[in-house]
């Protein structure tokens, strides 16, 4: 099995960056990291995961979808898309790697979002096992194995380097020309590293969330629970939880008049915002309680109901670390997971 020693990482990334743009996690300030394009000398973060997820590569926070210009009394539609270049994202953890499958169910369903599809086709996922999962991680509840992330090439971290496995044809085509930078090692070493990860994950404090109390078909039981009022009481509707979330996929589209043409932009939106569902005829969600309930019902009930039981959360823990009022999906699951007569 291929093994890349830590001291060979720079040479590996340099060679990889010759064939495509390569993005790596970089420490931006203490305790925070973000993806940057790799250039010689870039120090790759050894932190757990980036503050914002890797979904930006496929579903960017803002994008120009189209333009419209009047020419000779006719409206010309301008497609601003350039040919998407091949790129690779390094260091994607198991939770984020799973999130792409969730986003695919939304954006690749009929009618296909061709902007997203184009980036998915050109983007290679170099995933990374977790050696030090955090106490805020709870991916195991959703059947995700932090030791065996999905992706095109899996890096299994043993502390001194990485065992490499190509998981797709695209991953194999990427890895084969880099094999000379690696050495051959017994796969038993990779299995031992994976077991260490699983042992740590098994000791994490949030492994036993009441997942079975949620899922498709639970709308009637959960929608009118009185606890929503108390859970949402302090929510300030800032939307931070949705912006850091790898699976949130709501957006808004608006046209702007530049004076010369109309430009159509798409940008992330949040179901936590008061004007999210505002329409000409009014707003069906008038209170923060209704908006808050929508976010969690979508992830825990509506999404699995429409997607073969798959939850709309991957347990990355980002919302636990970022909500200014310390409210998040774990507290919601614990509170609503209690039977009403247990309270
Ligand atoms: S739950 Fe927290 S992060 Fe999300 S909108 Fe409310 S206050 Fe903001
Ligand atoms: S809801 Fe929170 S824990 Fe779940 S995927 Fe989104 S940010 Fe991560």
The dihedral built from the CA positions of residue 241, 242, 244 and 247, taken in this order, carries a sign that is positive
Q: Are 102 and 68 contained in the same domain?
A: yes
Q: Minimal CA–CA distance to 70: which of 214, 257, 204, 244?
A: 257
From CA 122, how far away is CA 119, in angstroms rounded? 5
Q: Are 217 and 197 contained in the same domain?
A: no
Ligand 1 in contact with 248 (CB < 6 A)?
A: no
Token pair 């209690």 is found at 338
User: Residue 48 — very low, low, confident or very high, per pLDDT cuts 50/70/90?
Assistant: confident
Where does a domain end: 175, 202, 229? 202
Mean pLDDT in residue range 167-195: 98
Q: Are 32 and 132 contained in the same domain?
A: yes
Mean pLDDT in residue range 123-139: 97
User: Residue 84 — very low, low, confident or very high, per pLDDT cuts 50/70/90?
Assistant: confident
- CB-based contact 277:285 (threshold 8 Å): yes
Which ligand has the nearest atom to the CA of 298? 2
Q: In terms of pLDDT, which residue wins out, 301 or 85?
A: 301
Q: Are 182 and 295 contained in the same domain?
A: no
3-state SS assignment for residue 341: helix
Q: Are 225 and 267 contained in the same domain?
A: yes
Amino acid 255: pLDDT: 96
Where does a domain end: 182, 202, 222? 202
Measured from the Cβ of residue 187, the count of other Cβ atoms closer than 10 Å reads 13
Contacts of 126 (CB under 8 A, 6+ apart): 88, 89, 90, 91, 92, 151, 152, 153, 155
Ligand 1 in contact with 321 (CB < 6 A)?
A: no
Residue nearest to atom 8 of ligand 1 (CA): 238
Lowest-confidence pick of 27-31, 160-164, 299-303 = 27-31
Q: Are 242 and 195 contained in the same domain?
A: no
DSSP, res 66 = E
Mean pLDDT in residue range 37-59: 94
Q: Is the pLDDT of residue 343 over 60?
A: no
Mean pLDDT in residue range 245-265: 96
User: Residue 81 — very low, low, confident or very high, per pLDDT cuts 50/70/90?
Assistant: confident
Q: Is the pLDDT of residue 107 over 90?
A: yes
Token pair 């977790």 is found at 130
Report the chain's mean pLDDT, rounded to a whole number. Answer: 95
Q: Are 198 and 222 contained in the same domain?
A: no
Domain that includes residue 288, residue range: 211-342
CA of 253 to the centre of ligand 2 (A): 24
CA of 323 to the centre of ligand 1 (A): 5
Q: Are 37 and 168 contained in the same domain?
A: yes
What is the chain's percent helix, strand, coil content, to nearest 5?
35, 20, 40
DSSP string, 69-123: EEETTEEEEE--PPPPPPEEEEEE-HHHHHHHHHHHHHHSSSSP-HHHHHHHHHE
Measured from the Cβ of residue 153, the count of other Cβ atoms closer than 10 Å reads 25
Which ligand has the nearest atom to the CA of 271? 1
Measured from the Cβ of residue 36, the count of other Cβ atoms closer than 10 Å reads 16
Phi, psi torsion values for 183, nearest 5 degrees: -120, 165
Residue nearest to atom 1 of ligand 2 (CA): 313
199 CB-contact burial (10 Å; exposed 0-12 / middle 13-18 / buried 19+):
exposed
Mean pLDDT in residue range 41-55: 93
Residue nearest to atom 5 of ligand 2 (CA): 313
Q: Are 319 and 254 contained in the same domain?
A: yes
Q: Give the CA radius of gyration of the chain.
A: 22
Residue nearest to atom 2 of ligand 2 (CA): 319
Where does a domain end: 172, 202, 232? 202
User: Residue 340 — very low, low, confident or very high, per pLDDT cuts 50/70/90?
Assistant: low
Q: Is the pLDDT of residue 341 over 70?
A: no
Q: Are 239 and 138 contained in the same domain?
A: no
- Count of the separate structural domains present in the chain: 2
- CB-based contact 313:246 (threshold 8 Å): no
Q: Are 175 and 26 contained in the same domain?
A: yes
Q: Are 9 and 81 contained in the same domain?
A: yes
pLDDT tens string 28-45: 888 889 999 999 999 999
- CB-based contact 150:98 (threshold 8 Å): yes
């Amino acid at each position: 099995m291929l093994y890349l020693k830590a001291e060979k990482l720079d040479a590996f990334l340099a060679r990889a960056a010759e064939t495509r743009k390569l993005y790596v996690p970089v420490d931006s300030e203490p305790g925070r990291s973000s993806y940057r394009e790799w250039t010689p000398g870039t120090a790759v973060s050894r932190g757990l995961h980036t503050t914002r997820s890797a979904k930006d590569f496929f579903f960017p926070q803002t994008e120009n979808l189209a333009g419209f210009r009047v020419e000779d009394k006719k409206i010309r539609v301008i497609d601003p898309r350039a040919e998407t270049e091949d790129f690779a994202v390094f260091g994607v953890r198991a939770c984020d790697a799973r999130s792409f499958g969730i986003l695919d169910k939304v954006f690749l369903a009929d009618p296909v979002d061709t902007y997203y599809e184009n980036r998915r086709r050109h983007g290679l996922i170099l995933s990374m096992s977790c050696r030090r999962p955090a106490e805020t991680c709870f991916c195991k509840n959703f059947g995700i194995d932090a030791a065996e992330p999905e992706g095109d090439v899996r890096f299994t971290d043993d502390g001194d380097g990485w065992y490499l496995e190509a998981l797709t044809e695209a991953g194999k085509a990427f890895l084969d020309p880099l094999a000379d930078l690696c050495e051959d090692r017994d796969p038993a070493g990779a299995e031992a590293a994976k077991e260490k990860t699983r042992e740590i994950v098994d000791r994490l404090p949030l492994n036993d969330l009441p997942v079975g109390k949620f899922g498709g078909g639970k709308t009637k039981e959960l929608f009118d629970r009185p606890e929503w009022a108390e859970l949402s009481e302090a929510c300030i509707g800032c939307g931070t939880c949705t912006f850091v979330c790898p699976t949130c996929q709501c957006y808004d589209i608006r046209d702007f008049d530049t004076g010369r043409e109309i430009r159509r932009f798409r940008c992330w939106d949040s179901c936590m915002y008061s004007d999210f569902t505002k329409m000409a005829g009014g707003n069906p969600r008038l209170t923060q309680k209704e908006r808050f309930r929508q976010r969690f019902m979508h992830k825990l009930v509506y999404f699995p109901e429409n997607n073969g039981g798959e939850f709309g959360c991957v347990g990355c823990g980002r919302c636990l670390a970022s909500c200014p009022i310390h409210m998040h999906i774990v507290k919601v699951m614990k509170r609503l997971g209690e039977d009403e007569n247990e309270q």
